[in-house]
Structure 1
Amino acid sequence: MSTTPSYTPPNVWTWDQQSGGKFASINRPIAGATHDKDLPVGKHPFQLYSLATPNGVKVTVLLEELLAAGHDAEYDAWLIKIGDGDQFGSGFVDVNPNSKIPALMDHSGAEPVRVFESGAILLHLAEKFDAFLSHDARPEMLSWLFWQMGSAPYLGGGFGHFYAYAPEPMEYPINRFSMEAKRQLDVLDRRLAESEWLAGDTYTIADIAVWSWYGQLVLGRLYDAAEFLDVESYTNVVGWANRIDARAAVQRGRMVNRTFGEPSMQLHERHSAADFETRTQDKIAAE
């Protein structure tokens, strides 16, 4: 086993240097705004401020699913560049004091309301439209939704950080969080061996939430780690992930607020369904 220099924690931790790694410039031990910046507001009832990370994708997928199902869920999706620190602007902090994407302003009622944390946004929208819920298996649906919220930090902040973003590879944390990531995949694989969807026979917000992290992981879209984690061995998860990935609304949702990857999959802002058509036409013209 590799060795690393010994480290003795001080009696009181102080922030005297950046932590290193890809996101070091936006990590800090205090909350609140760093600068004044108002958020744009469009014409639709729902104003989303986000980026197409797994947490952001959850919400845009649900919004596109709601629209595809005929609900009046029109929205404006504004890009928040977390690498530039947009999430620390005063307007964004007013919507989400935790300075994390996604954040939603709901103007559909008598008074505008803010909703932050991706799981809360999914539940808020699903209950508002009474869609993508399982009334017969509500406890099961909520259990898997909250399982994702509690488990994904080990996948992203644990495995993903040390495997893909840390300043240098370190054997102990990579081993520790690889074990946990694989345990979580096994949990999902066992559930999906006995049920088509996580809550039973109905596709719900639990599937959308879990797919955005674990589905995209087994489809090879997170951390370039599919081979390392032997994701193909989780056959039930792979089959479930592909079923969701084939949905047209999911494909549209993946594009929204995306600024990385294949240019054909990027739609930096979304203000109407026509934006997807324009994006497709631009792709055809480029080819």
Structure 2
Amino acid sequence: MITLHTWTTPNGFKASIALEELGLPYKVNPINIGADDQFKPEFLKISPNNKIPAIVDDETGISVFETGAILVYLAEKTGKLLPASGEARYKVLEWLNWQMGGLGPMFGQLGHFTVFAPEQVPYAQNRYKTEAIRLLKVLETQLSKHAYVAGEDYSIADIAIYPWINTLRTFYKQEALLEATPHINAWFAKVGARPAVQKGMTIGKEAR
């Protein structure tokens, strides 16, 4: 059994989607980041950076934080959604790291300055909107050539990116940025139709 410590954020949904896709038994421990649960000592023991999600695998005794590491761990545990070797493996890891180092942080900053910031900062809004558009162009180009983000097969790279595109469209109210990205939109609909994705995107909402 895997314990998933999570909350209803794009990063939290990555882990729950992966668990659903891989068919692994798990239980959910909600970490209410609005109530500062992420700073409690018992959570910091498994996630010292005080960020969700984190997992604990009762079978192995291993705990993992950071979503990229979580996705790789779960994929390697099951032998699914990440090729074991060769070029295909590194393509998945490339795009997983692209999301971790670029898409997620930049979309997060865009969301902060357009939704959460107590005052309007036009420079910051324009900076992160411009970067979001650039990143979307990169993704659009890739998806114009391949069925999925890292190639012809669905992988943890798709799982990592999907919740952030969803948040851009919905919570951040930036759907206009996707008007010129037909390949992203088709990919988004295809991935969003997967039952495991639909279920994974609901995890934690009841607690919230």
Which TM-score tier does this pair reach, normalised by the shorter chain?
over 0.9
Distance of 2:204 and 2:50 partners within structure 1: 17
Matches within 5 A, 1:57-206: 57-67=13-23, 73-109=24-60, 112-135=61-84, 137-151=88-102, 152-156=104-108, 158-206=109-157
Partners of 1:236 and 1:150 lie apart in 2 by 22
Q: For 1:163-212, what per-residue CA distance to the aligned partner results, in whole angstroms no more than 9, with x for missing partners?
A: 11101211111111100000000000000000001121110000100112
Alpha carbons 1:134, 1:199 under 8 Å: kept = no
Provide the rounded CA distance (Å) in 1 between the counterparts of 2:82 and 2:204. 25
RMSD: 1.3
Shift of 1:254: 0.5
In structure 1, what is the equivalent of residue 181 of structure 2? 234
Pairwise CA distance, 1:117: 0.3
Ranked by relative contact order (alpha carbons within 8 Å, sequence separation 6 or more), the top structure is: 2
1:211-257 deviations in Å (ceiling 9; x for gaps)? 1212x146x22311213x3x121111111011000011111000001
Equivalent positions of 1:214-225 (< 5 A) are 214=165, 216-217=166-167, 220-225=169-174
Which structure features the higher share of helix residues? Answer: 2
Measured against aligned partners, the alpha-carbon deviations of 1:88-127 in whole angstroms (never above 9, x if no partner) come to 1110000100000001111112xx1110001100000000
Any conservation in 2 of the 1:61–1:252 contact (CA below 8 Å)?
yes
Question: Which segments of 5 or more consecutive residues in structure 2 lack a partner in the other structure?
Answer: none
Deviation digits for residues 119-168 of structure 1 (CA, Å, limit 9, x no counterpart): 10000000010011134511110000000000111110x21111111012
Partner of 1:268: 207
Runs of 4+ residues deviating >4 angstroms: none
Name the TM-score, length of structure 1 as normaliser. 0.69
Structure 2 residue identity aligned to 1:222: F
Q: Secondary structure at the match of 2:59?
A: coil
Cα-to-partner distance string for 1:8-29 (whole Å, 9 max, x where unaligned) = xxxxxxxxxxxxxxxxxxxxxx
Q: State the secondary structure of the residue aligned to 1:255.
A: coil
Q: What residue ranges of structure 1 are gaps of 5+ in the alignment?
A: 1-44, 68-72, 259-266, 270-287
CA contact (8 A) 1:102 1:118 kept: yes
2:163 maps to 1:207: no
Return the alpha-carbon distance in structure 1 between the equivalents of residues 44 and 107 of structure 2: 26
Corresponding position of 2:193: 246
Percent identity, aligned pairs only, is: 40
